[in-house]
Amino acid sequence: MKRIFIDIILFLATLLLFVLHNYITLPAPLQLLAFKAMLVSAGILHAHIARKLLFPRVNWSEFRMTGLHYVTIAFYIVIIYAYSIGG
């Protein structure tokens, strides 16, 4: 929970910005930045929850990277990338 706390706050803040229609007061580049920040935060949260449910626990303190390490890293990258270009 402490690893994704900042992403939860960022997602909720940008979501409220768009739900309450306060984004209209921002210039267009800041609207795009806020929208992308919301999408990336949602992607991080989705990837984190899905990984916790789908994959076994990964020991990151191991000296040698295993296939599970690479799958976990790829899983995060793919989901976050898909969310970030989805907007």
Q: Give residue 58's pLDDT.
A: 86
In this prediction, residue 87 carries a pLDDT of: 54
Determine the pLDDT at residue 56. 86
- Show the low-confidence residues of the chain (pLDDT under 50): none
pLDDT of residue 3: 83
Using alpha carbons, list the distances in angstroms from residue 66 to 15, 45, 83.
37, 24, 27
Which pLDDT score, from 0 to 100, does residue 75 have? 93
Note the pLDDT of residue 29: 95
Q: Where are the beta strands (DSSP E) in 1-87?
A: none
The structure tokens 């990338």 sit at: 81
Quote the pTM value: 0.85
